Structure 1
């Protein structure tokens, strides 16, 4: 029986003294610092009190020396010879340029954060005390040396991230800090075994009519050449194979009659089946799901079990710059936020990681589809050695590792590199040097075709389906829309008729409590420390210009915070609402982005301290199964549910005082997974006074409300309402009854208690209407503060 022993105790961390000058490096370098494994240098130095948190104020700037320093992790352990023939040192994740030394003997060198490593070390182990050291060279030194040898390549940032197989966004991004890490970031330990072990198990799971099929491909490592028996079992059905003397690969096939199919959330259940493979005492176990995945390459429609799925997606970035801090519980919280916002797909963006098993297991159980980018983003990547071999090895390992997960529905070659090569002026700069095309069009698809033919592969995003086509063509494949935010008003979304929008977004600041924790000084939109937590070029300028005619100009920081958060929510609701009315021509949207890795002004719906921004509440409404949208003189009933949506649609044109000016009712039926369009007569679609009227549509419990003019041009009365806050289980109920129109009512309880949350936001009330908000908090709050600004805000109040 194989035995695994983790080596996670007794580690220390020391900086390696070098003569090379490094800006900002302290005169006395840290030595013998207690270290946590798995972990990284930054978190260890923080735990020891040797550095400030790089996420706060502008500490990041003063800590750049960490990424240019060599570090050594060291531990001692006792070992007693056992009965096994082999003992391997198993390193699940080393970040990144490492030399591994056991008892003074070098056992291996690594240069890839995205791979695991296994080194035979039994001949080096001693009976009694042993020492293990892992020396990490500077990732900068390695990457810059590769760049010098291979020739420079263009990228989005002046950092060498494309020359090293490491999480690219560690080098900084337009939403992330530059914190170049090093460390033993995943488990490390000793594995002892004899005879043979399961080196690799790769199940290919499909659903053919009512039959579930599992083809289990097994590769073994062995110390003897005698035959071995391998078994695989799922749903009580077992297959056996005999591994002949000297053979190292076997295939076992199991057919499961009438399995329950795995479905994406909103389309059915997510039954999972235990798959167990045994080779002697060695055992491999995963949960699998039976389903098929197909991709219409022109329309870019993902079909599961033969059913086209309308994608309501979000982009996922690493949830922390220090991935060892991302626990299963933390992922579960983030996934709960995604599903509560009616998301059905997570796109793992190419500047990050292949995520942990916890990530994909949670996605399997929740029915969240996963689109996995290979880790290449926003740069021309060299294809020469040693990088090509590293890329091939990491791709083979991770395609194999992730094969069991039914949630994984797509492999994608890269993020924006094909577009960069075609449209960003790279070709002249490259002067014929490699840029990654051979990876995305040849190496990666060949690996996926060989190892995981059950899933589609797409060379990159944006991409139109062929190398000679414009990559960002809305008429085919996937597009990214970034003219909105960068320089165009968000109304421009309505000029697009895309097949699939894989990336688009609009910025807004984080929650007040998040910003207050991150910034110790003045909170002002242009305060230096606030601007340090805005990484986009001219980001705050774009925030203000983006208000356009939509919203009034802010006069105070509190106005700026509320209005720019509101504008972010509105921009995304406008875009997604439009794209959903185009279904099935438009088969999906993937918002940039769900989450943040630190406290920052960004495109995220959930900020770096896990607080939901107003965008999250808008996303929950606009991604609901059933949606009403008012556009271009019509009401659209979007029904992405399994049942027909029928009933009486009421459409009323109101004056701002709440008086009905025109009303019509319509009998409406929107079939399952379809969109119904209801044309409106001119009495409803045309306003007598655009600055003083609005249009409201209601079908069942869904309501849509639009004004005939931009809010900054509407003759709003000053908001009049009655508001009260009263204690309730787990917090407070805040009830607001409108005596006038109350536009975009929002409640920010985190201003009173950083842990407080509210259940809804951005509600417009007509005179006589009431809204009740539930505030969750463990503290006693001032009821008066809950119903006054800056906690309670509305648009016509802020414009007074």
Structure 2
């Protein structure tokens, strides 16, 4: 059996003595492994918080220097004296050389790879000295750029030459902190002469009440006739299938037929049963030599690109078409070791609660930790996985290509068994940007062969069952971002100054990026800005919007739709509301545009620092107001309202395929000037399919005869629970006049959780609540007279809360006559 010995203790670090100056950092200092130079310095109080105001500008020297980490260890007593010992580096960031007892053991140049090195001949029993010298990633990348030539690359051009998280050099939503350090575990490993190297799982087919699955077991070492493999598949502790393989080879393929399989489904389409796959390697005496386990799911996945002679881009899971409701994922911290399991759990729980069914792992970050994919398996969140290439050309010289081959193979083999993993994608925007800015022939793009030959060739070998897409966006038209084929990135809206109402002109088959900016929540800024700088036009605040002219866009689009104020609290509310309305508008369009559009993936779910960005959850893991708009518009059932000719058409868009829905539609017609309900009526509805069902047509002339109006439409279940709600208004909200409502609040709380009740005398639009110690589980809603709105809340610190402590925001208050 394998034996492991962790090497995360007793590390120290310092700046390399060969670096001029910085003498205060040339004494050995305590540090953490896993960690980074930046976080180690921060923990020691030697630098200020990198995220505070513009401290980023003062910390560039860290990445320009070389650093040394060291520890010592004894050979573990439990290790056999006559068996080889490996040292395993799961991840070093990035350019480094390791020395053991004064002798070089390896030079590292890829943070996306793990490394196993035989150190048997260099070990002593006591006080082994391990030292790792990290080279400045900036100096290293620039030296390769000087050697091989500058490529077309967005932002910092040298980054393309180093296999390191590209976002660490700075992006249009994040700071520049090219980190260094031992960012993943290091340990000693001892194993038998023969062991299990890799374990794969595939669903070959599902037919009727049977599924055919395939288990691939790769064995390394000298396999002999005495070896036996035992493979078993269990569900909820019950053995489902087992097989024994007596003729064991280095590569073994075992097929098993499963009766009445429990199928894995994406969120909102079914359950996520996970089978326990166990593979045991034994000798003839039944002694266990090695053991590997995985959690796997039985499901098939296809991406259909053509149907009935027409281009399309649709996902089929278990032969059932799925509309994709997704979010893009970026690394959740500029300093990767701070991305805790708790962070992942909270973010992915929020994604599921927002009715998402896909996470796109963007190609400028990292191949993520195992916990991310494990959570996606459990929660039913499919994964669109980019390979780590983003927004530029990449070199193709031999050493670089060989490095990529190992990187791709390692990560595919590590992740292949996850049922959530839906698609591999070659890169993010490399081909589209080349087409836009360099050459209409994308085959001339340096790096093109990586995505069109190298990666697909490797996937045929190690993961042939999963769909592959060469780039995002991509298609079979000359322009990779053409709406007529493949997938698109919709950045005319926002980035090219086009208003979100123009989305009605978008006829994309599948949208894998679109977004709209807003600032982080008010509480998050308290740790990132001094109080005097909490102003919407303050340079320190603007510094945290990394897009060129990003802040100008905030004000431009805000003034197009809503009242503008520079009061801090009001600015955050209104700009977050504008983000929510923009995302709602776009997603409603694409859901209504079925069967043409088959998916929409928002840019972006999360942030890596306190920012004004496209995220719907800020860096403190607090949902923005827009999150709740997304949660509602990604719900299985939504009501859309469209003006067609002389009618308003109300449609129910239903994504619950197998459900027959019976309920009622309630319509409230509100006079703008008085904000009084001047008409309301109810209609029973019955829906038995998942298309856009027209449930009501209203002549516009009936609506306008009483002047300017707002229409609110609500769908209720047969037990009178609100299912979905929407509104229609002819003009933009900034041009509307509404009186202020009187909203009564009552708190009914327990120790850590409870709820509040809200009632209003007038229709109140987009109600938001704020308290620094309370999380409100619903925000941005419409509250009608006669309704009692109950909102669950969390109060983890048990802070006493009075009604007067809660800040209330409602759009009416900015539209008062």
TM-score range relative to shorter protein: over 0.9
Alignment-derived partner of residue 12 in structure 2: 12
Partner of residue 490, structure 1: 500
- Give the structure 2 partner of residue 230 of structure 1: 229
The CA deviation at 1:699 is 4.4
**Distance in 2 separating the partners of 1:115 and 1:36:** 21
The question of 1:288 aligning with 2:286 is answered no
User: Retained in 1: the 8 A contact 2:95–2:137?
Assistant: yes
| Residue 195 to residue 366, structure 1, CA distance change in 2 (3 Å) | same
The alignment partner of 2:565 has SS state of coil
CA distance in 2, matches of 1:202, 1:242: 19
Residue 385 (1) aligns with residue 405 (2): no
Matched with 1:517 is 527
Kindly indicate whether residue 124 of structure 2 is the aligned counterpart of residue 116 of structure 1.
no
Residues 441 and 685 of structure 1, relative CA distance in 2, 3 Å threshold: farther
Query: After superposition, what is the alpha-carbon deviation per residue over 1:674-698, rounded to whole angstroms, capped at 9, x for unaligned?
Result: 2212452314775246644434344
The answer on 1:567 being equivalent to 2:541 is no
Which residue does the alignment assign to 2:285? none
C-alpha deviation, 1:357, in angstroms: 1.1
String of CA shifts for 1:402-445, please: whole Å, max 9, x gaps. 111001011111111111111133679x9x97522111111111
Among 713, 718, 736, the alignment partner of 1:696 is 713
State which of 779, 782, 785 in structure 1 corresponds to 2:804. Answer: 785
Aligned partners of 1:726 and 1:482: how far apart in 2?
44
Instruction: Find the aligned partners of 2:51 and 2:101 in 1 and give their Cα distance.
Output: 37
Compute the TM-score of the two structures, normalised by the length of structure 2: 0.91
Unaligned runs of 5+ in 1: none
CA contact (8 A) 2:669 2:709 kept: no
Say if 1:696 and 1:11 are closer, same or farther in 2 by CA, change over 3 A.
same
State how far apart, in whole Å, the 1-side matches of 2:342 and 2:469 are: 31
Query: Residue 315 of structure 1: which of 307, 320, 328 is its match?
Result: 328
On the 8 A contact 2:150/2:157 being kept in 1, the answer is no
Q: Does structure 1 residue 65 correspond to structure 2 residue 84?
A: no
Residue from 618, 628, 651 that aligns with 2:667: 651
Pairs within 5 Å for 1:50-129? 50-79=46-75, 82-129=80-127
> Which stretch of the first structure deviates more once superposed, 157-166 or 594-603?
157-166
Name the counterpart of 1:736: 758
- Give distance in 2, aligned partners of 1:571 and 1:690: 26
2:41 maps to 1:45 = yes
* More displaced 10-residue stretch of structure 1: 697-706 or 357-366: 697-706
Determine helix, strand or coil for the equivalent of 2:201: strand
Aligned to 2:789: 771
Aligned to 2:286: none
- 1:691·1:713 contact (CA, 8 Å) conserved in 2? no
CA contact (8 A) 1:514 1:599 kept: yes
1:692·1:715 contact (CA, 8 Å) conserved in 2?
Answer: no
**2:667, 2:711 within 8 Å by CA — same for their partners in 1?**
no
Structure 2 CA distance for partners of 1:685 and 1:325, relative to 1, 3 Å? farther
Partner of 1:412: 425
- Residues 157-556 of structure 1: pairs in structure 2 closer than 5 A: 157-209=155-207, 210-222=209-221, 228-235=227-234, 236=239, 237-242=241-246, 248-280=250-282, 281-297=289-305, 298-425=311-438, 434-464=445-475, 466=476, 468-486=477-495, 487-520=497-530, 521-556=532-567
Mapped partners of 2:125, 2:81: distance in 1: 13
Please say if 1:638 is aligned against 2:646: no
When residues 637 and 425 of structure 1 are mapped into structure 2, their CA distance, relative to the original with a 3 A threshold, is same
1:517 is paired with a residue of what secondary structure?
coil
Residues in 1 aligned to 2:144 and 2:299: alpha-carbon distance in whole angstroms: 43
Q: 1:781 to 1:193 in 2, by over 3 A?
A: closer
8 Å Cα contact 1:735-1:770 kept in structure 2:
yes
1:670 matched residue in structure 2: 687
Q: 1:16 offset after TM fit, Å?
A: 0.6
SS in 1 for 2:389: coil
Matched residues in 2 for 1:39 and 1:684: separation?
Answer: 66
User: How many residues are matched?
Assistant: 783
Is the partner of 1:717 in helix, strand or coil?
coil
Q: Distance in 2 between matches of 1:643 and 1:300?
A: 25
Deviations 1:75-126 (A, max 9, x none): 1111156245211111111111111111111111110111101101111111
Which digits, 9 at most, give the CA deviation of each residue in 1:197-219, with x for residues without a partner?
A: 22222233334313333333333
CA-CA distance at 1:745 after TM superposition: 1.4
Q: Aligned partners of 1:784, 1:628: CA distance in 2, in Å? A: 33
The answer to whether the 8 A contact 2:355-2:631 is kept is yes
Corresponding position of 2:308: none
Separation of aligned partners in 1, 2:215 and 2:324: 30
The whole-number CA distance in structure 1 between the counterparts of 2:148 and 2:707 is 62
Answer whether contact 1:17 1:29 (CA < 8 A) is retained: no
Shift of 1:740: 2.8
Assess, with a 3 A threshold, how the Cα gap between structure 1 residues 736 and 268 changes in structure 2: closer, same or farther: closer
2: CA distance, partners of 1:485 / 1:108: 47
Unaligned runs of 5+ in 2: 283-288, 306-310
Measured after TM superposition, the shift of residue 159 of structure 1 is 4.5
Please give the alpha-carbon distance, in whole angstroms, between the structure 1 residues aligned to 2:203 and 2:349: 27
Matches of 2:430 and 2:705, distance apart in 1: 50
